[in-house]
Amino acid sequence: MVKTLYLEETDSTNDFLRQYTPGEDENMTVVWTDFQRKGRGQGTNHWESEAGKNLTFSVLIHPDEVLAKDQYIISMAVAETIHRYLSGVTDAAVSIKWPNDIYVGDFKIAGILIENSLSGEHIRDCIIGIGLNVNQTVFESDAPNPISLRMIENKEWNREEVLQGLTEELVWQFEHFHIDSIREKYRRHLYRREGIYPYRDAEGEFEAELIDVENDGHLVLLDAQGQRRRYAFKEVAFVI
């Protein structure tokens, strides 16, 4: 059973679910809010969201069949799910920017923050935080490239309907969980999957081709000198 909870505002929907005890028949718990006082992105990033305009929500699942060493598959699965949903409601070019941002063209429309709890060699609980820009049109933070569904389609969206659609896609994904298929689709839909583009690491800016995202989440690039470069999250930046 999927249980959906609404909070007018909260510090963080991820934090709320971390303290939440689901009922015995809850396979998935979704909590969404009009406003997060302390919304977070990856690392130290802050997620800007105007109150009542966007979707900020978290999902609690219990993927006990996923090994701890394979936990990046959850990130791949969620990114691919959002990609599939958005590709079904807009004709714009949607892609997945490593590690798990969702882009439309060169603009960011959604971000994902995943926190796993382990039990031995397996994942016991997984909290999936998602921020999706829906109806916001003015962004005041220093985020360089935000975009929303309203900006793309020039219409107001019903946030509850969008949430319902995304929830249905997530339920389907985790009921038909096939690791090889998820990895293949994630890689196929990567931002900058083909071509040579600028990147920046600790040594400076360079141009490279995206070769792969490994099963553990490392990004592999091939630079202009034919050297393979392998990066963990935050070790390299896309120059956009």
Mean pLDDT, range 215-229, rounded to an integer: 97
Which DSSP helix (H) or strand (E) runs through 146?
none
> Is the predicted pLDDT of residue 39 greater than 60, yes or no?
no
Integer angstrom CA distances of residue 141 from 32, 48, 125, 156, 228: 22, 7, 32, 22, 35
How long is the chain?
240
Mean pLDDT, range 198-205, rounded to an integer: 98
Of the candidates 193, 207, 194, 202, which has an alpha carbon nearest to the alpha carbon of residue 239? 207
Distance of CA 217 to the CA centre of its chain: 13
> Is the predicted pLDDT of residue 45 greater than 80, yes or no?
no
Please give the pLDDT value at position 235.
98
Please give the pLDDT value at position 155.
96
Please give the pLDDT value at position 65.
84
Mean pLDDT, range 141-153, rounded to an integer: 88
Please give the pLDDT value at position 49.
65
Q: Quick one: what percent of the chain has pLDDT higher than 70?
A: 94
Please give the pLDDT value at position 46.
52
Q: Quick one: what percent of the chain has pLDDT higher than 90?
A: 85
Between 198 and 49, the higher pLDDT residue: 198
Say if CB 211 and CB 221 are below 8 A apart.
Answer: yes
> Is the predicted pLDDT of residue 144 greater than 90, yes or no?
no
pLDDT class of 24 with cuts at 50, 70, 90: confident
Mean pLDDT, all residues of the chain? 93
Is this model's pTM higher than 0.75 or not? yes
DSSP 86: H
Counts of helices then strands in the chain (DSSP H, E): 5, 12
3-state secondary structure of 124: strand
Please give the pLDDT value at position 120.
87
C-alpha span between 126 and 217 (Å, rounded): 17
Please give the pLDDT value at position 47.
54
DSSP 43: T
C-alpha span between 214 and 177 (Å, rounded): 19
C-alpha span between 217 and 228 (Å, rounded): 16
C-alpha span between 55 and 34 (Å, rounded): 7
From the CB of residue 180, how many other CB atoms can be counted at a distance below 10 Å? 8
Say if CB 240 and CB 224 are below 8 A apart.
Answer: no
> Is the predicted pLDDT of residue 150 greater than 90, yes or no?
yes
Mean pLDDT, range 54-77, rounded to an integer: 94
